[in-house]
Structure 1
Amino acid sequence: MSSVNCYKHIEAAVSHTPVLHRGFARALDTLEMIYQSNGTLNATLCGESGTGKSTLCRIFRQNHPISNGPEGDEIPVVCATLPSRPTAKSVARNVIGAMGAVVLGRPDQDQLTKQLRTLLQGCKTKVIVLDEFQHFIDRRGQDAVAEMGDWLKVLLEDLPVSLVLVGLPRTGLIRQSNEQFRRRFNLDHVIKPFSVETATDQQEFFRYLRKLEAMLPFEQTQRISTENLLLPLWFASNGLIDYLNKVVGLAGDIALENGADFISREHLELSFQRYVWPGAKNEDNPFHPDFRMRALVGVYEPFAPVNVAHVTRRAA
């Protein structure tokens, strides 16, 4: 059993049989509504890093796989990731590449747009998902935003194709900063982390912890879905599903390294100290008896918020 990597095992399990919490399920429902809209609905899909946005996009694409049609491959959902400094031209190249096509030579923007429109029509594409769209917000000035808005209008004119812009919470600012984006993107969905504020929130978090236990590749004699670990696990992850998987999975690896057949509080404490906040003091480690029971969102702490006001000023 010591050769098993618990964290990778959890990641693989989530990839094949994802655990859908309420916010995740609602987001997937929104994507399905967009898919059925025949190009009339477009959306921004925002969430903090670690809330499962990329997993959601992957599931959506898996639900609508590539198929062999009478005229060639049909690609109903195309998912592409934006580069760190995107332009309309680089986005076109990435979407073309995501469709499995090749860009020959050094075409200009108009030629790339024409090639992409031909692909979208021929492959009967219904939805384009553009991930990491906050990179457009992060660029200085309105010119980049206006350029992107104009290009999308040309690209999708008369095509029954919807757009979903996925990114960090500031992605939603695109609708505030440009009239064309505000008109086109009529849905705005936010994926939120787990919460423990209400009894219903806590029950949902407990349900995920139980399913997480079932993914662990060894027989446990001590559960992590217990009342005394509920808040420590939430504080250690800030409710973010990726961090929660990491803390628990890597604690499982530590347990196996030490010959244990279950995850103890000490294993979780060490996992947090190694992989979430190296060098954290005892009072800042959610699994240590001296922890002060607080959200770790201060300056230089693991879940410190992004300075959205600064980003907004740059985009203005």
Structure 2
Amino acid sequence: MPNDSTSPRTARPDHIADKGKYISFSIRHQVIEFNAFREGWRKISHVHNRGIHAQIAGGLLLVGQSGAGKTTLIEHYRDSFPVTEHPEQTMVPILVVQTPAMPTVKNLAEAILHALGDPDVNKGSTEEKTRRIFKLLVACHVELLIIDEFQHFCDSRRRSVANQVADWLKGVLNVARIPVVVVGLPRAEEVIRMNEQLARRFSSVFFLRPFNFHTDEAQDEFRGLLKTVHKFVPVSCIAFHEANLALRFFIATNGLIDYIAKIIDEAVQIAGRMKNPSIDWDILFQAFGESVWRNAPEELNPFNPDAELRPLNKLGEPFERRDKLLLPGATSEDAD
């Protein structure tokens, strides 16, 4: 546990200043770009524009660990091409569809129809639903289809059903002739590799990698991200991007931006309950325990000044299923 100078302070709910400001705060409301994010955007944009200007129905497989920022990327791209309502039709330039947890032809067709605004997603046979999909894709002027959570195809225990759905989807894509981006965890690539036609369609793969900390350049980028995050925090706080603290943030998050958001959001909520809200080592110590690893041993909480600074990837630790961190002195092979 931190020494007396950094021991957790007691929250005082009876002294809340600007309570609404803190409760409504989330760093997720800000789109903070970083190198991998921008490269992913460029890849999506290329497929999109090739479809518009060259009428090439290309494909892109975008994969990344949970928490790497995939959903934020595709939602931000979609929101840059907003839906527009007209008297006779609704224009949906970018259509984002969530793959059902246990995909079947029926529920995937219904998911696509729901995303297209069909009021009767449950009506009709599979063939009728498929025809409605084709009609609405044209009527809504869909320029790019993004299918998220694609790894659910290989999570299905019924491999034959998953293959049937993949074949149906392949047929839809062949007829629709619009570019497609499929998004998911790294194992989503297994689905593509198992189907020869899908493998040809999605031969372009982009891995949205987490941050690493094994080179000066990588450390500078991560610290730059923390400096940007610092600007949006609505309370006074220590410099997140200071070298020692940045390393601790990296270990606490495994380089995944979603965990940065978890810690910052929780820290603001904890600080907001103080009489004089501010974020220091104490608050970050508490925020890590609340948002990342509840009941973490104090000697492994990265925001304990006396913590053992090592990757938290052993059995029972928060990142045991993640790729290994790249700390100073590590090589790229260490992350394989």
- TM-score (normalizing by structure 2): 0.84
Deviation string 1:15-57 (CA, Å, 9 cap, x unpaired) is xxx1110001100111111111224311111111111111111
1: CA distance, partners of 2:23 / 2:300: 23
SS at match of 1:78: strand
Shift of 1:200: 0.9
2: CA distance, partners of 1:258 / 1:277: 23
Shift of 1:303: 1.1
SS at match of 2:25: helix
SS at match of 1:9: coil
C-alpha RMSD of matched pairs (Å):
2.1
Change (3 A) 1:105 1:205: closer
CA contact (8 A) 2:110 2:122 kept: no
How do residues 87-102 of structure 1 correspond to structure 2 at under 5 angstroms? Answer: 87-102=104-119
How do residues 1-316 of structure 1 correspond to structure 2 at under 5 angstroms? Answer: 1-4=17-20, 6=22, 8-14=24-30, 18-38=31-51, 39-68=56-85, 72-103=89-120, 106-140=123-157, 142-218=159-235, 220=236, 222-305=238-321
2: CA distance, partners of 1:198 / 1:56: 25
SS at match of 1:172: helix
Shift of 1:127: 1.3
2: CA distance, partners of 1:295 / 1:117: 49
Letter aligned with residue 266 of structure 2:
L
CA contact (8 A) 1:2 1:257 kept: no
1: CA distance, partners of 2:262 / 2:298: 20
Letter aligned with residue 58 of structure 2:
L
Shift of 1:206: 1.1
2: CA distance, partners of 1:78 / 1:104: 16
CA contact (8 A) 1:193 1:239 kept: yes
1: CA distance, partners of 2:261 / 2:99: 26
Change (3 A) 1:72 1:231: same
Query: How many residues in Structure 1 have an aligned counterpart in Structure 2?
Result: 303
CA contact (8 A) 2:67 2:259 kept: yes
Change (3 A) 1:238 1:88: same
Letter aligned with residue 321 of structure 2:
P
User: Which runs of no fewer than 5 residues in structure 1 stay unpaired?
Assistant: 308-316
Shift of 1:256: 2.6
2: CA distance, partners of 1:180 / 1:144: 18
2: CA distance, partners of 1:255 / 1:104: 46
2: CA distance, partners of 1:281 / 1:124: 54
Change (3 A) 1:157 1:178: closer
CA contact (8 A) 2:313 2:322 kept: no
Deviation string 1:248-304 (CA, Å, 9 cap, x unpaired) is 221122223233443111110111112211111112111113321111111121111
Letter aligned with residue 200 of structure 1:
E
Letter aligned with residue 217 of structure 1:
P
SS at match of 1:224: coil
1: CA distance, partners of 2:121 / 2:105: 17
Letter aligned with residue 301 of structure 1:
E
CA contact (8 A) 1:6 1:216 kept: no
Change (3 A) 1:86 1:161: same
2: CA distance, partners of 1:104 / 1:24: 34
SS at match of 1:36: helix
2: CA distance, partners of 1:154 / 1:174: 15
Letter aligned with residue 42 of structure 2:
D
SS at match of 1:259: coil
Deviation string 1:97-138 (CA, Å, 9 cap, x unpaired) is 111112266422111111101101111212111111111111
CA contact (8 A) 1:10 1:215 kept: no
Change (3 A) 1:7 1:22: farther
Letter aligned with residue 201 of structure 1:
A
CA contact (8 A) 1:7 1:246 kept: no
Letter aligned with residue 177 of structure 2:
P
Moved over 3 A (4+): 4-8, 68-71
CA contact (8 A) 2:97 2:112 kept: yes
